[in-house]
Amino acid sequence: MGEFKHKIRVSWFETDAAGVVHFSNYYKFFERAEMEFWRSLEIDYKKIMKEYNIWLPRVEASCKFISPCYFDDELEIRLTIGGLARKSIRYNFQVWNLSTAKLAAEGHMTVVSVSKDTNRSVAIPSGIADSLKDFI
Amino acid sequence: MGEFKHKIRVSWFETDAAGVVHFSNYYKFFERAEMEFWRSLEIDYKKIMKEYNIWLPRVEASCKFISPCYFDDELEIRLTIGGLARKSIRYNFQVWNLSTAKLAAEGHMTVVSVSKDTNRSVAIPSGIADSLKDFI
Amino acid sequence: MGEFKHKIRVSWFETDAAGVVHFSNYYKFFERAEMEFWRSLEIDYKKIMKEYNIWLPRVEASCKFISPCYFDDELEIRLTIGGLARKSIRYNFQVWNLSTAKLAAEGHMTVVSVSKDTNRSVAIPSGIADSLKDFI
Amino acid sequence: MGEFKHKIRVSWFETDAAGVVHFSNYYKFFERAEMEFWRSLEIDYKKIMKEYNIWLPRVEASCKFISPCYFDDELEIRLTIGGLARKSIRYNFQVWNLSTAKLAAEGHMTVVSVSKDTNRSVAIPSGIADSLKDFI
């Protein structure tokens, strides 16, 4: 079961007055890792929208915040596929803080395949589902 | 069991290229409602930090995204207390879109009481716990 | 010459690790004041986009950061019209920190009228230009 | 006169309902380039804060938005030193959109050297000023 890794450097604007990364940013880190994951499969998100004519809107996201991240820390986002259903994909994430060598956060996002024309959920195109085979 | 309500207008910068509120903003809406909730109890978050010498860092947050919100929509964030433990508080949230009359999102945040001096979890000060009595 | 005022409460997520509002947020405050300004003229931005079929993209924005704003401070954004040309509008802004009674920031934004169909700049519709008469 | 270049990929959460990068994000791009610039000089911003005991708060920032950037575009931020005074540094920025081969934005940020102890402006430490010699 494959794992995709993406590194991110904490920006100053991602911190808050407690001196740590504001929790809302972890969801943005998840999304950045997701986009780089699709790019690594050579089926980037622009292509998903244009060729397959679908969006992948989020229907659920959760995160546990385990240890704080600070300005300029280097983070590694690890993405695995937690589930693939006919119309939805679940990504699981871990955020490892390479600067503190600690697990910083752990969470998931579930996305649904939605036609850009009808705005209704549709089966995940087989070209997309197939590309995930090394991660199931 | 009390419920606290806070209204928010969707800003342009909270939308994304799908024309809807980006999902990461719902967590910010939760936080804004949380702050206004404490203010409504006359025990605002600044006071929590200064007088009680604690933070309330988030240890977990989740959200289900049920129906989209658009630029300029008026939202009502409804906060209830989902649980009060010795050291933690769970807030439950619903985001009602008053412009579409639909439930837009539903989620929770769990915060832990942490001493600003020792950086360790401590019992929630009784002054704070008592203030929640109408919401339990 | 009219002035429009809009109040904003500083959110926790708008602060950074220096304990103050991150400078990028002032531009968001400007935009929120701009939207409320149009609403106050009963010609809100949704209407501008739908009825007049134009956008008002920003072509320039600047800000001087004069004194810091902190979490939970109450701010008053003051908007005046700094200039009205055939195709562009210049808004001037002051951000007054009501909690510290100091001028926090001062800046401007210039927007251009652009057709949503052709994506080219066009004259500001007279209905919009006329609505600004009390502010020139 | 040296120029520092830093590449950034546009994230989905940086776009708005017009389908383009929201203007407030360009200031964040400036800041990310600034941090990577200091890192490239082996005098990263953490070191500036810890060893030299100063902050470099922004006192002014401006930007002209010249051509739009879209989701997933690759941007190159180019930083030059526009001025070095006793207590302040002016950075000039250009944002080149490598995906459209167009200049997307152009702006500046001016920062002031402020003692973390006294909160007053102080001369830029010579170690910092000297490190800029190839960029003046």
A2-58 pLDDT tens trace:
999 999 999 999 999 999 999 999 999 999 999 999 999 999 899 999 999 999 999
Query: Is the pLDDT reported for residue A1 higher than 80?
Result: no
Distances (CA, A) of A104 to A113, B42, D32: 30, 33, 22
Pick the closest to residue A16 from C12, B49, B29, C26 (CA basis): C12
Share of chain D above pLDDT 70, in %: 100
The chain D residue lying nearest C66, using CA atoms, is D59
Share of chain D above pLDDT 90, in %: 97
* Strand partners of residue C6: C77
Q: What is the pLDDT along chain B (136 residues), one digit of tens a residue?
A: 799 999 999 999 999 999 999 999 999 999 999 999 999 999 989 999 999 999 999 999 999 999 999 999 999 999 999 999 999 999 999 999 999 999 999 999 999 999 999 999 999 999 999 999 999 8
The chain B residue lying nearest C46, using CA atoms, is B72
Count how many Cα atoms sit within 13 Å of the Cα of residue A69 in the half-sphere of its side chain. Answer: 31
pLDDT at B1: 75
- Name B53's Cβ contacts closer than 8 Å, sequence gap at least 6: B115, B116, B117
Chain D residues touching C57 at Cβ < 8 A:
18, 20, 65, 68
CA distance A81 to A92: 6
Chain C residues touching D59 at Cβ < 8 A:
64-66
CB atoms within 10 A of CB D101: 8
- Measure in Å the smallest separation between the Cα of C32 and chain B Cα atoms: 6
Q: Are D71 and D12 in contact (CB under 8 A)?
A: yes
The chain A residue lying nearest B26, using CA atoms, is A24
User: Helices D24-40 and C24-40 sit at what angle, rounded to 10 degrees?
Assistant: 170
Mean pLDDT over A117-126 rounds to: 96
Chain D residues touching C64 at Cβ < 8 A:
59-60
Sorting pLDDT into bands at 50, 70 and 90, what band is A111? very high
The chain B residue lying nearest D17, using CA atoms, is B19
Query: Is the pLDDT reported for residue D1 higher than 80?
Result: no
pLDDT at A130: 95
Mutation site for C-interface testing, chosen from D26, D32, D62, D114 by largest number of C Cβ within 10 Å: D62
Mutation site for C-interface testing, chosen from D20, D23, D70 by largest number of C Cβ within 10 Å: D23
Query: Is the pLDDT reported for residue D39 higher than 90?
Result: yes
Q: Is A89 exposed, middle or buried (CB count within 10 Å of its CB: 0-12, 13-18, 19+)?
A: buried
Q: Are A64 and A107 in contact (CB under 8 A)?
A: yes
> Which helix (H) or strand (E) covers residue A81, if one does?
strand A74-84
- Name D46's Cβ contacts closer than 8 Å, sequence gap at least 6: A71, A72
CA distance C90 to C84: 6
CB atoms within 10 A of CB D58: 22
- Name D42's Cβ contacts closer than 8 Å, sequence gap at least 6: D131
pLDDT tens track for C30-51: 999 999 999 999 998 999 999 9
Cβ pair D35:A45 closer than 8 A: no
Tell me what ipTM this predicted complex has: 0.96
pLDDT at C133: 93
- Measure in Å the smallest separation between the Cα of A71 and chain B Cα atoms: 17
Tokens read off for B131 = 């203030």
- Measure in Å the smallest separation between the Cα of D69 and chain B Cα atoms: 12
Cβ pair D62:C57 closer than 8 A: no
Query: Is the pLDDT reported for residue D33 higher than 90?
Result: yes
pLDDT tens track for D98-135: 999 999 999 999 999 999 999 999 999 999 999 999 99
Chain B residues within 8 angstroms (CB to CB) of chain D: 12-13, 15-17, 19-20, 22, 24, 70-71
The chain B residue lying nearest A106, using CA atoms, is B60
Mean pLDDT over C114-135 rounds to: 96
Cβ pair C31:D18 closer than 8 A: no
Beta strands in chain D (DSSP E): 4-9, 54-55, 58-65, 74-84, 88-97, 102-112, 114-115
pLDDT at C30: 98
Chain C residues touching D64 at Cβ < 8 A:
59-60
> Which helix (H) or strand (E) covers residue A130, if one does?
helix A126-131
Query: Is the pLDDT reported for residue C127 higher than 90?
Result: yes
Tokens read off for A3 = 């794992």
End-to-end CA distance of chain A: 6
Tokens read off for B88 = 């933690």
Query: Is the pLDDT reported for residue A131 higher than 90?
Result: yes
Query: Is the pLDDT reported for residue C83 higher than 90?
Result: yes
Chain A residues within 8 angstroms (CB to CB) of chain D: 9, 11-13, 28, 31-32, 35, 44-46, 71-72
Cβ pair C28:B13 closer than 8 A: yes
CA distance A136 to A85: 11
Chain B residues touching C32 at Cβ < 8 A:
11
Tokens read off for D90 = 């002016």
The chain A residue lying nearest B65, using CA atoms, is A59
Chain A residues touching B120 at Cβ < 8 A:
none
Sorting pLDDT into bands at 50, 70 and 90, what band is A127? very high
pLDDT at C1: 75
- Measure in Å the smallest separation between the Cα of D11 and chain A Cα atoms: 6
pLDDT at C18: 96
Residue at token pair 């008026």: B74
Q: Which of D13, D31, D72 sits opposite A13 (nearest CB)?
A: D31
Chain D residues within 8 angstroms (CB to CB) of chain A: 9, 11-13, 28, 31-32, 35, 44-46, 71-72
Pick the closest to residue C27 from C103, C123, C105, C84 (CA basis): C105
For chain D, helix (H) and strand (E) counts, in that order, are: 3, 7
> Which helix (H) or strand (E) covers residue B129, if one does?
helix B126-131
Chain D residues touching A44 at Cβ < 8 A:
72
Pick the closest to residue C56 from C33, C31, C77, C78 (CA basis): C31
Chain D residues touching C65 at Cβ < 8 A:
57-61
Beta strands in chain B (DSSP E): 4-9, 54-55, 58-65, 74-84, 88-97, 102-112, 114-115
Q: Is C20 exposed, middle or buried (CB count within 10 Å of its CB: 0-12, 13-18, 19+)?
A: buried
Q: Are D126 and D75 in contact (CB under 8 A)?
A: no
Pick the closest to residue B50 from B116, B94, B5 (CA basis): B116
Q: Is B1 exposed, middle or buried (CB count within 10 Å of its CB: 0-12, 13-18, 19+)?
A: exposed
- Measure in Å the smallest separation between the Cα of A136 and chain D Cα atoms: 25
Count how many Cα atoms sit within 13 Å of the Cα of residue D122 in the half-sphere of its side chain. Answer: 15
Pick the closest to residue A87 from A32, A118, A126, A49 (CA basis): A126
Tokens read off for C49 = 């986009």
- Measure in Å the smallest separation between the Cα of B95 and chain D Cα atoms: 20
DSSP assignment of A7-30, as one string? EEEPPGGGB-TTSSB-THHHHHHH
Question: CA-based Rg of chain D, rounded to a whole angstrom?
Answer: 16
